[in-house]
Chains A and B, each alone.
Chain A
Amino acid sequence: MSGGRAAGLLPLAAVAAPASAQPLAVVPDEYRWLSFAVFAAIVGLTLLATYAAARRVRTPTDFYTTGGGVSGMQNGWAIAGDYLSSASFLGTTGLIALWGYDGFMYSVGWLVAYAAVLLLIAEPCRNIGRYTLSDILAYRNDPRKARILGALSVVTVSACYLVAQMVGAGVLVKTLIGIDYEISVIAVGVLMLAYVVFGGMVATTWVQIVKAVLLVAASLAMVALVWRQYGFLDGFFAQVVADAGVHKRVAAVLGDAAAGMTPEELGRRFLEPGLLFATPIDQISLGVALVFGTAGLPHILMRFFTVPTARAARMSVVWAMVIIGGFYVLTLFLGLGAALKVGAPAIAEVDAGGNMAAPLLAQALGGGPESLFGNLMLALVAAAAFATIIAVVAGLVLAAASAIAHDLYVGVVRNGRAGAEEQVRAARVAAALFGGLAILLGIAAKGQNVAHLVALTFAVAASANFPAVFMTLFWRRCNTGGVVAGMVVGAVAAVGLILVSPNMTYPKTVVAAAQQVLDEAPARLALIEKALAADDPERVEQAKKERAALGRAVARARDDIERHRQQTTSLVGLEAPWFGLRNPGLVSVPLGFLAVIVGSLLYRDPRAAAMWDEVRVRRHLGVLAAGRRPPPASGGAPGQEGF
């Protein structure tokens, strides 16, 4: 990201100076108030929900799982809200806008991952677990070891994902409202803490519902506008194939390979696989990471503890499936619509990863950056994205707080002997501490590449959490030794492989790319100067825009070179990636499973063996499970804690 520090010595300084002095503004200053008002309205709505919820939270069951007072449909929307992260809304839309078909493969991955959660994990977890992922691990295995290890993993995974989300939120708010990055991050952090600390799972659930409804409504409205302009289905795709901007983009991506392709072939290529993923194995590895990683994400698992009966759990899962599936189909039209209406260069310029594609599309659909309606649309979509981020970070804080308070404090330190009030207090304190830490980390990560944090989250969840939970639930001979070995090996493999993967920043590559931009700049500038001298006012206007863009690119390149002057190697001292895959899942998930098997076979654990009957019976029968109170007859009777 551009820090705006130009050396000011090279020939292009004149072009670079104004661009670097003023960061790219998406919303004109006179419409900032609009973004602000819409954001404030939505935040107000969620705070109202929190206020109403806070008065209902008295017991740990209320705090962690809403006390069972959530209906199947409500929970379906809440699951969808939990699941549709900003990574999947902003990120996937941007990937489709920039990379066409390959971007859409992410959407499919997110959806199928959810189906895997439903079939493999949701019901047994609901039937056996209570508040946290470690509850499931501690059930059969040595409770102390399982809780400590499980909590460590949950806190690490949540923290990585949280920091990535906070950085995203900070950039989003800064771009749209113009508040400083640091203040944006603090504002997001304070909001998420307000939801969690005061309202626990009840408030978090309502924030998720509000956000899911907003997100789906905003997406539907945008897709309707896209279809109105470009036509439905076949007509729409024909427009994509025929679009000159798309041709340019594909030609730029393919480079030399595009030579000799007709415009129509270029357009078709956008709807075919292979633009984004260079190595085929990477696609498959991404699939593994998405599917198993999602099934091991603590804040997703936690959601299944909120439904009172197996039947309600399934109802909510089907609701969620339809909402999530429908939403991801919409991302295809949003992404391609953004490629048509906004164009890849404009999208990539605001954010190289394409994350601003959806807000920019909204602005363009509403009438462009100068119109009131365009900026209103932008504000609405951005506010939906913002609500998405705060809802997901709230879920993450809740998951981490429950691991710290329920597993470490109550489970390990107090040996399970803590009253209801003390448990809720511990959970609130843990949430406040963890949230505070997340705010500090988010500020420290300013301007950093956070792609590896997201990859890390999914890799650790898939390689450490998933094998341990799955084998505990489904394998007779699984025991403490296996769970400990699996979690350690899975986490070490995932982290280790990411540290040497292409996700990290390699200064040499960055500097080389930046140098290339600088080297090519004079020639490009000459071309632009020539266009500026032309008579055609439209061409001059275009050339002016290109000149400004070039200036910003040069400023960024200088900034990159400046920043990496001191170092030539990545964080772990490599000049180039040692492991070729962005997602290590293909290697680290099997390693995690293998470690569970070997560890279990080498370790003798009579308790795990003796508990197998119970685990198996509970997995199917659920509700008779002791320790889980029977479902309330109707709605949310105030929880009596049966501890």
Chain B
Amino acid sequence: MGDPAIDWAAINADPRFRELHRRKMRFLGFLVAASAIYYFMLPIGAAYFPEIFRVRVAGAVNAGLLFALSEFVFACGVAVLYARRAGRDFDRLAGALADEAAARTHAGAGRDA
């Protein structure tokens, strides 16, 4: 595939694109790292620190159950956070860049023809 009409290197070098890339990757990296740590705390904790999971919190409910249920809140929170940030922030930057690129391409194509 590949579309020679679009100057990918130019977009890639565009400071606004660099900014978009940097911010998005930083945000994603943060979410991925946080999710990974929070998730693997469950199997690692269950395997090596079962006594913490056994702590009784309320009646028959123990800390392990609450922790496992909190994973659901955490995961849904990550999804909502990402969708909101992306919709508010990244989409606008990406949209502007994409529109410009498309306009340039059409102009270029017109000249070629």
Contacts and interface: CB of A to CB of B under 8 A. Distances in A.
A626 B83 contact: no
Interface residues of A, number: 59
A287 B37 CA distance: 12
A625 B42 CA distance: 40
B2 to A, nearest CB: 7
Contacts of B40: 284, 287
A624 B87 contact: no
A321 B83 CA distance: 11
A139 B62 contact: no
B44 interface: yes
A315 interface: yes
Given A119-B78, A314-B87, A283 B47 contact: yes
Contact of A139 (B1, B54, B72, B94): B1
B46 A105 contact: yes
A76 to B, nearest CB: 11
B88 to A, nearest CB: 11
B35 A115 contact: yes
B35 A286 contact: no
Given A268-B60, A329-B72, A119 B35 contact: yes
A523 interface: no
A33 interface: no
A16 B3 CA distance: 72
Interface string B50-93: 10011010111110110011011001101110110011001100
A123 to B, nearest CB: 8
B67 to A, nearest CB: 9
Interface stretch (A234-242, A424-432, A574-582): A234-242
Interface residues of B, number: 56
B60 A116 contact: no
Nearest to A240: B60
Nearest to A283: B43
A224 to B, nearest CB: 19
B107 interface: no
B43 A237 contact: no
A115 B78 contact: yes
A272 B63 CA distance: 9
Interface in A242-301: 267-268, 271-274, 277, 280-281, 283-284, 286-287, 291
Given A111-B75, A621-B97, A627-B1, A317 B12 contact: no
Interface string B1-42: 111011011011000010011001000100110010001101
Most A CB contacts (10 A, CB to CB) among B50, B71, B87, B102 go to: B71
A376 B98 CA distance: 55
Contacts of A234: 58-61
B97 to A, nearest CB: 6
Nearest to B79: A321
Interface stretch (A152-160, A163-171, A500-508, A612-620): A612-620
Contacts of A104: 65, 68
Given A111-B71, A317-B83, A621-B101, 6 more contacts: A273-B50, A274-B46, A284-B40, A287-B39, A318-B79, A613-B9
Interface of A: 101-102, 104-105, 108, 111-112, 114-116, 118-120, 139, 233-234, 237-238, 240-241, 267-268, 271-274, 277, 280-281, 283-284, 286-287, 291, 310-311, 314-315, 317-318, 321-322, 325, 328-329, 332, 611, 613-614, 616-617, 620-627
14 contacts: A108-B42, A118-B82, A119-B28, A267-B60, A273-B47, A273-B64, A280-B43, A281-B47, A310-B86, A310-B91, A314-B86, A613-B12, A614-B6, A626-B1
